[in-house]
Every structure is written in C-alpha cells, then in structure tokens.
C-alpha cells in the first residue's frame, strides 16, 4: 500500500465524527500549519449521481426472495461489533457508516435501501476475498442462504477477473474541484441481479494532492503515513440494493 493518509474515505469518517476535520500540513517553519478544510465526501455518502440499478437480463428464471428490512441488517451489524456513524448528504439523504476493525474497510447502509461494502484493493485475490468474507459473514445472519451462495459465487468470479490496479478509461469520474484536487473514478463495473437483489461489483480509485507549498500532509489519526504530491487508493466495492419493499423498514435505533 502506498504511503498515504489524506484520504477521501478518511475524510468521510471526519464528517461522521471518527477522525478530526483538520488536515495537518507540515511546513519548513518550526510550527506546523493546520489548514481547516471541508470534509471530502466519498461515493458512499453523496450520489454524484448515486449508482443506479442496471437492468440485467437473466439467462434463467431466478427465485424472488423476500425483501430483508434494512433494520434487520443494521441490528446484525451492531450485534457483530460494528460501530455506526451517521451521515446526511447534501440532498438530505441519510445513512450510516459501519466500522469494526479497519476504518478503511467499512459497510455503509443508506436510507434508499442500498448497502455498500468496501475493502482495500491490494494484495492477492485471496487476501481480498478473505477481507470481504469478514463482511459477508454479517449478511449471513439476515439474507437467505441461497442468496449469499450466489453473491459469493459472483464475487469470486469478479475478484479473479480484475487486476491489482486500474487502467484505461473509467466508467464514471467525479472531480470535486476542492483544494486537494480530489478525484473519484469507478472502474470495472459489473452488474447483476440475484433473485430480486440488484448487485454491482466495481473498483473505486481515489486521488488527492498535497498542495505544493507544504512540506508534506497527513491525517493526525494516521501518523507515519505522510505524503507529498498525489496520493491514491483503490477500493474493492460491492453494492447491494434491497428490493423496493425493503429499505429502512425495521428498527434503526
């Protein structure tokens, strides 16, 4: 993994209260300068536009499983030790970021009935599969066994098909135009439908730039990961849309 710390995903946690909002920039002077910035919002938070369901023709008829209420999923996350951090988008849509062991690899639940699961896209396909499996194990508590079997099969095929980095033209690009020249781009999109649950596998690449007037930049919560110039990460992402009757039905307390 590159030596990076000023990360759009980390800034998502700043917005949610996990990390401080300050980005520390170190100059050649004895006292480091601290620049107050607005949090950079990840695709998990703001639909720019939000990923939309893609109609996927099925080769054979598939069973239609009952919609699982989002409240049941959030209850399972709490019982598995995930901590939640609320967010509200600029358009008023809200949801929660759920974090357990690794703040870079989280689950996001949105009020529109979408679940996002992310792990860092580094290491081998086996390593990525193992980290994703940690999140899938939570969904085992609430989703039908057959659905989870298909989800794992689809993800395994996708995980084997993608390289360790992104190349070529992205499917979508979002440039935020902020002080850090933040860019998010989505690559290798693969959509499918599993018994009424639309799914998407993709790689999200993000890049931020430390302003040249500073010696280096870093996040206080991630000491030792200083960077200058451009810094980038790739996130291995699974999106699941609950059927229309799912969404945030159930208890979110």
Tokens read off for 5: 């710390």
In a domain, 186, yes or no: yes
Tell me, yes or no, whether 144 lies in a domain. yes
- Tell me whether residue 54 is in a domain: no
Q: Is residue 188 part of a domain?
A: yes
Strand partners of residue 216: 26
Question: What's the domain range around 155?
Answer: 64-211+229-241
Count CB atoms within 10 A of the CB of residue 55.
Answer: 7
Q: What is the pLDDT of residues 54-107, one digit of tens each?
A: 544 444 456 678 889 999 999 999 999 999 999 887 667 789 999 998 777 899
Structural domain total, the chain: 1
Q: Are 97 and 84 in contact (CB under 8 A)?
A: yes
Tell me the per-residue pLDDT of 138-155, one tens digit each, with 9 for 90 and over. 999 999 999 999 999 999
Domain assignment of residue 195, yes or no: yes
Identify whether 123 is part of a domain. yes
Three-state SS string across 26-64, please? Answer: ECCCCCCEEEECCCCCCCCCCCCCCCCCCCCCCCCCCCC
């Amino acid at each position: 993994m590159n030596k990076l710390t000023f990360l759009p995903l980390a800034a998502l946690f700043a917005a949610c209260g996990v990390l401080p909002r300050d980005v520390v920039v170190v100059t050649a002077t004895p006292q480091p300068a601290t620049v107050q910035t607005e949090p950079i919002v990840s695709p998990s938070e703001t639909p720019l536009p939000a990923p939309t369901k893609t109609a996927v023709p099925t080769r054979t008829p598939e069973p239609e499983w009952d919609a699982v209420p989002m409240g049941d999923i959030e209850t399972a996350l709490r019982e598995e030790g995930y901590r939640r951090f609320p967010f509200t988008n600029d358009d008023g849509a809200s949801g929660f970021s759920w974090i357990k062991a690794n703040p870079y690899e989280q689950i996001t639940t949105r009020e529109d009935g979408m679940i996002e699961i992310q792990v860092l896209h580094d290491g081998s396909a086996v390593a990525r599969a193992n980290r994703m499996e940690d999140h899938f194990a939570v969904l085992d508590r609430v989703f039908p066994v057959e659905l989870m079997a298909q989800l794992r099969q689809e993800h395994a095929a996708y995980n084997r098909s993608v390289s360790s980095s992104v190349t070529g033209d992205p499917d979508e690009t979002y440039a935020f135009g902020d002080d850090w020249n933040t860019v998010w781009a989505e690559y290798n999109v693969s959509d499918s439908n599993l018994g009424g649950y639309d799914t998407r596998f993709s790689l999200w690449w993000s890049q931020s730039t430390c302003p040249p007037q500073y010696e280096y930049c870093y996040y206080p919560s991630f000491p030792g990961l200083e960077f200058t110039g451009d810094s980038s990460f790739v996130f291995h992402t699974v999106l699941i849309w609950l059927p229309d009757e799912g969404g945030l039905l159930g208890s979110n307390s």
